[in-house]
Chains A and B, each alone.
Chain A
Amino acid sequence: MNEFLTTLTAIAASAFSPSTAALAIAAIGLNIHFGYTGLLNMGQAGFMLVGAYAFAISIVAGIPLFPAVLIALVAAAVFALVLGVPTLKLRGDYLAIVTISAAEIVRMIGRSSLLTDITGGSNGLTGQSYRGPFTDLSFLGDGQTTLGPFTYDNTGSNGWWVRLVAWSIVGILCLFVFLLMRSPWGRVLRGIREDEDAIRSLGKNVYAYKMQALILGGTIGALGGIIYVLPASVQADSMGRSMTFFVWTALLLGGAATVFGPVLGSIIFFALRLFVQGIAGQFVPDSIMNGQQAEQFSWILIGVVLMLVVIFRPQGVLGNKKELSFNVN
């Protein structure tokens, strides 16, 4: 029973870990793309990586924290612009193809040995090289704090400070998305999701709206990338194709086109995996399934859950049932 409690604690710890927040932020960005505007962005990890690299390289080059964040957001906006200009006038599938390959291009460039001086090649950039200015901002001081079963450094590399900042950003972004989507601007985006030509016939510049949505969601993705690398390191391979699919999974689990869906989805995504691993570790003997296999099994289970959600509850956990009652094709 004690071990069970440990598992539960681990699950709770991962539910509010910085990487969960980072995934949630990236999913909020993707929600603007897919949930509200209907853009199929299959390369959200590319936006995260662009943001992470731009941020880390700027700091290493001696640029202060806030300008560095700004540079990262601008880099992601330019990335979105480059992807959007040729594809947003075409049918939706083209954006999917272009984003998935662009994300791969960013990753391959990042890990290329030619750029080892700048990006660190496949070893990446270590956390210490760019974390300094961020941890210096902390007002929590040194030492450790224990809240319930959780004990972390106040400021250290993976402590309360980064958690506080990460989840504050999640909260601000949720509020931002809520404000945007109740506005006429959000209404136009949802209209574009339903039928572009109808919106065009009403005198709205669909291309400009899609571009705005792509840039906005992409910069939010970049912000997610920055949060993701703050407690860890910048490594091209940690934000590859699988990261894109984690973000998609989180979004679809929680419910696209809802404000809190992406956040809840990310929490469920991490918690479910740990839950399966923890349960398997305790109750399934190693001869049947060892720890490594349990991890792989948890991925399989995530995939199955995603399929079940898409088939039986396509609106996700938080989605609106009214929107489900008819299929639009």
Chain B
Amino acid sequence: MSTDLGVTPAPTKAAAAATASVAAVSPLPGVPKPDPILVVDNIVRQFGGMTAVNVPHLEVQRGIITALIGPNGAGKTTFFNLITGFDKPSSAPRLIGGPKSDHAARSMFNGRSVNNMGAAKVAQRGMVRTFQLTKALSRLTVLENMLLGAKDQPGENLFAAVIKPLWAAREREITLQAEDLLQRFKLLEKKNDMAGSLSGGQKKLLEMARALMSEPTMIMLDEPMAGVNPALTQSLLGHIKSLRDEGMTVLFVEHDMHMVRHISDWVVVMAEGKVVAEGPSATVMDDQAVIDAYLGAHHDTDLGDDSLLTDEVAEELAKEVELENRTEGDA
């Protein structure tokens, strides 16, 4: 089994198509895409005097994997909450005293407006998210967790709930669908266990599988790899890619640079609440300015590497630091 994230397998047809679809797009922040599924404008969120997020315009291309990266505190998760309806932009239109209409927050998903919409409605439109800290419903079984993700269960209406024949047929359908997904995520033998008894990584898998139960058009993953061991990371990566290959749009927030480089077709870089760069994963990573400014100049240095302990390398690093200090002093 390969745990080496440095080896890229040959790209699939869908992957090639995804890469091709954004090949002609120029790598500038807020650039228009040929076929955007999500378009947001003027998303601003202030906490008191601090502006956590300020994104004038951003488009997410349909059918590809887009990664949202940036250093800690860049506002990635806040931005995520804003577009999924878990938080409201400070720039949202208000009845009285809101911003002017051309400065008001706007978001279009799949050709329809999702302005000012609650989280539940956004999810019903087909934009389903997961959380950085997994929210497995601990005292429900794995299968119950899955069934909660399904749409159109008439038994979720109070008045139909008491009469089982009204919802039993749909229940059978979604149970089959849930078992299929659990099989795919290797959780099927756990289906009658309480979700609270799963390991951290399994909970991540369960959360992703649960989000897929509603057959979303776009899935938003908030740090899907946080706290997951390398072996499971590899299989999660595979799952994310296969979602894209099935035609789903994926947007995810991530810290892990290696993973981003590997699976994303397009990368959006955020820092201090703004989108500072975007582009195809290969080129945006090569943009030295982005790497230096937002990922740190030594992001590629393996701090656990023995070779670092040789005098030569140490001298080299010292020189670099000196150079940096000088340039900073100049500025």
Contact = CB atoms under 8 A, between A and B. Distances in A.
A198 interface: yes
A198 B135 contact: yes
A325 B131 contact: no
Contacts of A199: 137, 148
A326 B167 contact: no
A325 B194 CA distance: 10
Contact of B120 (A206, A323, A325): A206
Contacts of B155: 183-185
A211 to B, nearest CB: 10
B162 A179 contact: yes
A206 B84 CA distance: 15
Interface stretch (B2-10, B90-98, B121-129, B286-294): B121-129
Contacts of A206: 120
B119 A195 contact: no
A197 B214 contact: no
A323 B158 CA distance: 25
A326 B135 CA distance: 15
Contacts of B123: 200-203
B140 interface: yes
Contact of A188 (B118, B136, B156, B207): B156
A188 B156 CA distance: 7
A323 B86 CA distance: 29
B308 interface: no
Contacts of A191: 137, 140, 144-145, 148
Nearest to B192: A322
A210 interface: no
Q: Among A179, A191, A323, which residue has the most Cβ atoms of chain B within 10 A?
A: A191
Interface in A173-194: 176, 179-180, 183-188, 190-191, 193-194
Interface string B18-31: 00000000000000
Interface in B125-177: 128-131, 135-140, 144-145, 147-149, 151, 153, 155-158, 160-162, 164, 167, 171
Interface residues of B, number: 43
Given A183-B167, A194-B139, A202-B214, A212 B149 contact: no
A188 B147 CA distance: 10
A195 B135 contact: yes
Contacts of A1: none
A326 B197 contact: yes
Interface in B197-221: 197, 207, 210-211, 213-214
B36 interface: no
B196 interface: yes
A203 B161 contact: no
Contacts of A325: 194, 196-197
A322 B155 CA distance: 26
Contacts of A205: 118, 120
A326 B197 CA distance: 8
Contact of B156 (A184, A194, A197, A216): A184
Nearest to A203: B123
B156 A185 contact: yes
A322 B156 CA distance: 25
Contacts of A194: 137-140
Contact of B167 (A184, A190, A203, A212): A184
Given A190-B140, A198-B137, A202-B210, A184 B161 contact: yes
A177 to B, nearest CB: 10
Q: Among B119, B138, B167, B194, which residue has the most Cβ atoms of chain A within 10 A?
A: B119
A200 B121 CA distance: 9
A106 to B, nearest CB: 26
A200 B138 CA distance: 16
A42 to B, nearest CB: 22
Contact of A201 (B119, B147, B153): B119
Contacts of A176: 162
A184 B146 CA distance: 12
A174 to B, nearest CB: 13
A80 to B, nearest CB: 14
A187 B153 CA distance: 11
Given A191-B137, A203-B214, A323-B194, A198 B131 contact: yes
B291 to A, nearest CB: 33
25 contacts: A179-B161, A179-B162, A180-B158, A183-B167, A185-B158, A186-B161, A187-B147, A187-B156, A188-B156, A190-B137, A194-B137, A195-B135, A200-B118, A200-B120, A201-B119, A201-B131, A202-B149, A202-B210, A203-B120, A203-B121, A204-B148, A205-B118, A323-B139, A326-B138, A328-B139
Q: Which 5 A-B pairs have the closest CB atoms?
A: A203-B123, A185-B161, A184-B155, A183-B161, A198-B135
Given A190-B137, A190-B144, A202-B148, 10 more contacts: A180-B161, A183-B161, A184-B155, A185-B156, A191-B145, A194-B138, A201-B128, A202-B128, A203-B120, A325-B196
Interface of A: 176, 179-180, 183-188, 190-191, 193-195, 197-206, 212, 216, 322-323, 325-326, 328
Interface of B: 84, 86, 118-121, 123-124, 128-131, 135-140, 144-145, 147-149, 151, 153, 155-158, 160-162, 164, 167, 171, 194, 196-197, 207, 210-211, 213-214
